[in-house]
Chain A
Amino acid sequence: MNVRPDVRSTPWRAARVLAARDLHLALRRPGEWLLPLGFFLVVTTLFPLSLNPELSRLRDVAAGALWVAALLSSLLALELLFRDDSQDGSLEQLAICGQPFAWLLSAKAAVHWLLTGLPLVLVAPLAAIALGAPYASLPGVLVALALGSVSLSLIGAVGAGLTFGLRRGGALLAMIVLPLAVPVLIFGARATELAIKGEVATAPLYLLGAMAVLAATLAPLAAAAAVRVSLE
């Protein structure tokens, strides 16, 4: 009756199974996952439309604009993290399957980043060029956004864990996550700005990396606590 230890799944295997499931599901409905990317491009376009469209002038605000657009689009994407699983009861099953819940949520967050954060990072150079950034700055822009988007995904997962299923959850999510994301924004925008100016950006990049590591360690635990509370 009891499952023999040799066929029981290790937490690592369980995480892989969950990640495979989420990827499989995302591939069946790719359109949903492209929306945050479209939103990112739309918001980026709003800046030249509302400011001076001269590239030399846009270059001054490019770093900030890219990061604001990235932040807002990652907020939008967070809705997809727990929505489906909470609606069909799968999230409850994950909470009581006997595997470490924080570990399972890390797997979910990792797939979510692959599907929403990574595409954004890959598209960002286009947006950066559209805002006047020189070609030489693109690697710096990419790295800064890559590191920052990881932190944003993880911090956002905690917020999403607290607010999925609530009325006006989206607005509340923004209210909760945006202040917590300010350090990432500050250092990320600074790193991008230095890259655009052609200067060395190691200090803010190191800090971004440190924040990503801190988030990767602590956020899943907080998200697990948050989701358990929301499932009560």
Chain B
Amino acid sequence: MSQLTVENLQLWRGEAHLLKNLGFAVDAGCCLQVRGRNGVGKTSLLRALCGLTLLEEGQIRWRGQRVAADRSAFHSELAYQGHEVALKGDLSASENLRYGVGLRREVSAAEIAAALQRVALAATDIPVRQLSAGQRRRVALARVLLLDVPLWLMDEPTSNLDADGHALVAALLGEHLAAGGLAVVATHQALGVEASRLQTLELD
């Protein structure tokens, strides 16, 4: 049974009718890559999936249930990584993760340290505003890992990352999908996910 289904999505941004009658389904273990030129609505689609933007028309179903019926249950099973890294500059990476993940579940210092090691970030105790953009992105990836949820919604996850970073994202996605998770990723970069698990959606 498909886990994430979208039917008849319509979305306007001001006057522009960005998404017209969009429909797709993503199964467990699959990744949907959303491609399209700038401004075509990739970010709007992700935000609509999260529930940050209200949908004019259309239905999103998670595990067969309409998302609109129980939004918090849906939210507690997704991790959204948007353009902004959503990290507090004055706190260190570990502190950010402690608070950010702590909102959803108890997390130990050991888990945080392990996640930061997985994303290859050494400087875990200096304020985040002193980290480079690429390093901040890695902390954001660590958060997604720690949240331990089935659905990942990511908007340009590889931006600001070097070649190692690209490989890291591919590896993390691969592990997530292999464990039965789903992902919807908006990017025009190659994701490095194995072809059998990858679906593509071209927006125009």
Contacts and interface: CB of A to CB of B under 8 A. Distances in A.
Interface of A: 1-3, 7-9, 13-14, 17-18, 20-21, 24-25, 28-29, 84, 88-90, 92-100, 104, 231-232
B196 interface: no
15 contacts: A2-B148, A3-B76, A3-B148, A9-B106, A88-B84, A88-B85, A89-B86, A90-B87, A92-B84, A95-B52, A96-B51, A97-B75, A98-B74, A104-B103, A232-B53
B91 interface: yes
Contact of A7 (B53, B85, B105): B105
A3 B104 contact: yes
B149 to A, nearest CB: 7
Contacts, number: 101
Contacts of B84: 88-89, 92
B24 to A, nearest CB: 21
A96 B50 contact: yes
A28 B72 contact: no
Contacts of B147: 3
Contacts of B100: 93
Contact of A20 (B88, B90, B99, B106): B99
A99 B53 contact: no
**Most chain B beta-carbon contacts within 10 A, residue among A3, A28, A89, A96:** A96
A14 B104 CA distance: 7
Contact of A1 (B72, B90, B104, B149): B149
Interface string B40-64: 0000000000111110000000000
Given A1-B149, A2-B149, A93 B90 contact: no
B75 A98 contact: yes
Contacts of B99: 17-18, 20-21, 24
Given A1-B148, A92-B52, 9 more contacts: A3-B76, A8-B76, A18-B103, A25-B88, A28-B90, A89-B84, A95-B52, A96-B52, A232-B53
Contacts of A89: 82-86
B77 interface: yes
A17 B104 CA distance: 10
B78 interface: yes
Most chain A CB atoms below 10 A, which of B74, B75, B147: B75
Contacts of B87: 88, 90
B102 interface: yes
